[in-house]
């Protein structure tokens, strides 16, 4: 059995051996590893290491910091197969999907290599007689990221890349369900030349999270997870005077207009709704066809495709998706299927009977497809986070738009249409943070920012893109004067540039 500890000060750290959890292998239900759960004392050790290392790293010029990130990217590419294997075994997603997880994280690190440009301030020459004004961006100090199980590579790199490039020391608290990849990334950062203490990994549960939230030397925290936990972290972190951004749950709609390419729509819904077993915050979980004819045609095409989905172990290169992350999560998703039936939705495809031969103890669920779902049903209101797609029929475009706008979550949304006017109107009026037009999963590229609205996001700044560098730095403005033989008396009025 693998034993996972922590990574502090450039080396593995066992921590408190009396507190630990188990890391499961979802494809067969076996215990893959034992993971240490950090105590408050362990978090303190990570903070001390980070605090000691950060000043020298901040004093390193941004170009040299960027070179370390370049070397790190080379190492990630060299170890890509190894990382994907670990990720797939601990999360349950397929190897191909795991490589996509890694790549989207790598893209943000690539963007972060542009730190020398992104950290530039502003300058005004001769703002007043002999006076220059300029601003500079400086790191916050020690910052932290608390990241979820479903993207063990991508989201830690979304947090760490900009934070480290900005001159901060970073403490990562990943999900204890999938700690292998974050720990391996820490080793690769260190191998790339990152000084000891600049990237630390603490595995743990609520005790570790609360220790991070309450520690006065941690200046900022980024979080991704469920909305209830996002609210908790945001409120407690900001109460303690920290800069915090939190990204929570989602219920992403895909509106299907009558003129849409139905082959394109069907393929988009299958991939975006069932990929990674639906365990994505950007997964499409609600299809909204406009008009009965559109809905009937959509169901006619969707049903056989959902029935033909290939579910398999994470190591099966031909599988469309793998198992869910834990037995408990599987039971939760199954309970939502039962809720849908109880509330009157039509279960057009029932995946509950799926069994994976040779992997009977794995956490598998076949694709489930509901039709005639109503907005007051739990399967519509709640984030299920599984391979369950709901079809909500509407009679006109305005009703579909209102449906998206009225939901408490506002993470991602899409519209499929050939009508440019409808697409422009939708993009302008929909109250959601990320919009796709004939794109099912509208995750922006690394040089734009990622973030939802409403109950999907807490805080003023988004993830990656320029917002990440704003989040991990503070602005200092300097007013400078070098007088040339001018002698003045004391002034007791508010200074002006006259």
367-379 residue pLDDT tens: 999 999 999 999 9
pLDDT value for 18: 83
Mean predicted confidence (pLDDT) in 97-107: 98
pLDDT tens, residue by residue, 425-456: 999 999 999 999 999 999 999 999 999 999 99
> Which residue reads 């309970």 in tokens?
335
Number of neighbours of residue 371 by Cβ within 10 angstroms: 22
Is 484 a residue whose pLDDT tops 80?
A: no
Give the integer Cα–Cα distance in Å for 127 and 356.
72
Domain ranges (residues) in the chain:
2-248+456-478, 252-437
Per-residue model confidence as pLDDT tens digits over 292-315? 999 999 999 999 999 999 999 999
Half-sphere exposure of 430 (CA within 13 A, CB side): 31
For residue 160, pLDDT over 80 is answered with yes
Architecture of the CATH domain 2-248+456-478: 3-Layer(aba) Sandwich (3.40)
Half-sphere exposure of 127 (CA within 13 A, CB side): 15
Sole residue written with tokens 């060299």: 78
Select from 152, 71, 172, 144 the least CA-distant residue to 471: 144
Kindly state the percentage of the chain with pLDDT values over 90: 94
pLDDT band at 491 (very low <50, low <70, confident <90, very high): confident
Structure tokens at 266: 């069907």
Give domain 252-437's CATH architecture. 3-Layer(aba) Sandwich (3.40)
Q: Which tens digit of pLDDT belongs to each residue from 218-275?
A: 999 999 999 999 999 999 999 999 999 999 999 999 999 999 999 999 999 999 999 9
Q: What is the mean pLDDT of residues 61-84?
A: 98
Q: Which residues are catalytic?
A: 281
Q: What is the pLDDT of residue 486?
A: 57
Report whether 275 contacts 97 (CB < 8 A): yes
What pLDDT, on the 0 to 100 scale, is given for residue 82?
98
If phi over 0 gives left and psi between -120 and 50 gives alpha, with beta otherwise, what is residue 197?
Answer: left
Q: Check whether 392 has a pLDDT greater than 90.
A: yes
pLDDT of the residue at 14: 87
For residue 488, what pLDDT is reported?
Answer: 67
Q: For the chain, how far is it from start to end, CA to CA, in angstroms?
A: 73
139 φ/ψ angles, rounded to the nearest 5 degrees = -65, 160
What integer best gives the mean pLDDT of the chain?
96
The predicted pLDDT at position 483 comes to: 76
Residue-level pLDDT at 404: 98
∠ at Cα 395 (390, 401), nearest 5°? 70
| pLDDT tops 90 at residue 355 | yes
Report CA 91 to chain centroid distance, whole Å.
15
E strands, 18-130, are 20-25, 30-36, 123-128
Q: Which residue, chain included where needed, has tokens 């922006």? A: 444
| Cβ proximity of 132 and 480 under 8 Å | yes
Percent of the chain with pLDDT over 70: 98
Longest dimension (CA), the chain: 90
Q: Provide mean pLDDT across the span 387-403.
A: 98
- In angstroms, how far is CA 303 from the centroid of its own chain? 30
Give pLDDT tens digits for 423-432.
Answer: 999 999 999 9
In this prediction, residue 494 carries a pLDDT of: 83
Other beta carbons within 10 Å of 347 = 16
The pTM for the full model equals 0.95
């Amino acid at each position: 059995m693998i034993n996972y500890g922590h990574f502090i000060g450039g080396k593995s750290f066992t921590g408190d051996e009396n507190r630990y959890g188990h890391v499961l292998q979802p494809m067969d239900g076996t215990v893959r590893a034992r993971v240490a759960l950090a105590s408050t004392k362990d978090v303190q050790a990570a903070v001390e290491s980070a605090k000691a290392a950060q000043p020298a790293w901040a004093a390193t010029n941004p170009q040299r910091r960027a070179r370390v990130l370049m070397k790190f990217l080379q190492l990630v590419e060299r170890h890509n197969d190894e990382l994907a294997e670990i990720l797939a075994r601990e999360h349950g997603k397929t190897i191909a999907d795991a490589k996509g997880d890694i790549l989207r994280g790598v893209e943000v690190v690539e963007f972060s290599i542009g730190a020398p440009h992104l950290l530039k301030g502003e300058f005004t020459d001769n703002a007043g007689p002999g006076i220059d004004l300029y601003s500079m961006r400086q790191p916050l100090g020690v910052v932290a990221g608390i990241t979820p199980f479903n993207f063990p590579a991508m989201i830690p790199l979304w947090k760490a890349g900009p934070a480290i490039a900005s001159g901060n020391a970073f403490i990562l608290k990943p999900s204890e369900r999938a700690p292998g990849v974050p720990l391996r990334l820490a080793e690769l950062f260190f191998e790339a030349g990152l000084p000891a203490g600049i990237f630390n990994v603490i595995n743990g549960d609520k005790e570790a999270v609360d220790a991070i939230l309450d520690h006065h030397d941690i200046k900022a925290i980024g979080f991704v997870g469920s909305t209830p936990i996002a609210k908790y972290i945001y409120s407690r972190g900001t109460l303690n005077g920290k800069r915090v951004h939190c990204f929570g749950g989602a219920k992403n709609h895909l509106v299907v207009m009558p003129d849409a390419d139905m082959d394109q729509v069907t393929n988009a819904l299958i991939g975006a709704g069932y990929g990674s077993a639906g365990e994505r915050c950007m997964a499409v979980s609600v299809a909204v066809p406009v008009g009965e004819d559109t809905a009937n045609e959509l169901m006619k095409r969707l049903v056989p495709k959902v029935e033909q989905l290939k579910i398999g172990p994470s190591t099966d290169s031909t599988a469309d998706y793998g198992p869910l992350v834990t037995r408990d999560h599987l039971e939760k998703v199954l309970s939502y299927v039962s809720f849908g039936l109880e509330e009157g939705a039509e279960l057009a495809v029932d995946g509950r009977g799926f069994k994976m031969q040779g992997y009977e103890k794995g956490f598998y669920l076949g694709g489930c497809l509901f039709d005639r779902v109503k907005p007051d049903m739990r399967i519509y209101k709640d984030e299920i986070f599984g391979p369950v797609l709901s079809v909500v029929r509407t009679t006109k475009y305005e009703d579909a738009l209102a449906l998206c706008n009225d939901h408490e979550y506002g993470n991602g949304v899409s519209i499929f249409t050939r009508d440019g006017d409808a697409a422009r109107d939708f993009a302008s009026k929909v109250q959601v943070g990320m919009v796709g037009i004939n794109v099912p999963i509208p995750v922006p590229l690394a040089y734009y920012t990622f973030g939802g609205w409403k109950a999907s996001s807490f805080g003023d700044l988004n993830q990656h893109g320029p917002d990440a560098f704003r989040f991990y730095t503070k602005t200092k403005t300097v007013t400078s004067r070098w007088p040339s033989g001018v002698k003045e008396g004391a002034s007791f009025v508010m200074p002006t540039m006259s």
